[in-house]
Amino acid sequence: MQAAHPKKADAIGRAHAAIVEGHVVDLGDGNGKVLSRNGHTWHTVNGVCDCQAAAFGKPCRHLQAWKLYQHVTKKVQPQALPAVVEPAPPAPGGIDPRYLTYIRGKPFVRFDGLLALAHERGLVELSTTVVSVMPDFAVCQAVARFQDGLVVTDIGDASPTNVKKHLAPHFVRMAATRSAARALRRALNISEVAVEELGETLDQEAA
């Protein structure tokens, strides 16, 4: 097998190293971004970089790195270049990742996950009370009690218009579920919103 030209081999090696270290990221639309040594991220769009050097017409190493990446990826097989894998976000508050739902990159926790973790931490009672009900609005209050004496109370509300359409007739029960989710989140110190607390639009994306 014929050996690669030294300059070409060096270019491939530099591009390969840049990808492995995460300095060059392909945005998938023909553009990309390059991380500088000082930690700044510069975007390259249509052969133009938005760094200060490029703005003054000076040689731009970010654009050079991006062009090198594009050139090399056209010359080598895709599997020869490792993909940049984003690290998985940590699970909030000890929640089992199986009970998480991500919407637009943001984590939301399901009620069954809150309940499972609460039982692990000594939940002995979770009660809900209807505070107020009107034809188009309901408010409920939940109380969570734990073995160590911790007692947390919170409220939740719902209406036929801010729950899934098939749950509209049961919006009072949704208010109760939301109040229980809020009480458990406070008791477990979990700031992420529960899926059951979402309105119609985001709730559809979580389904």
pLDDT tens digits, 171-181: 999 999 999 99
Tens of pLDDT along 20-52? 555 777 766 667 777 665 556 766 766 677 776
Q: Compute the distance between CA of residue 167 and CA of residue 129 in angstroms, rounded to an integer.
A: 19
28 touches 22 (CB < 8 A): no
pTM of the predicted model, to two decimals? 0.54
CA 28 and chain centroid, separation: 19
User: Where exactly are the structural domains of the chain?
Assistant: 6-80, 92-206
- Residues in contact with 7: Cβ distance below 8 Å, sequence separation at least 6, in sequence order: none
Other CB atoms within 10 A of residue 198 CB = 20
**Average pLDDT in the 183-194 region?**
93
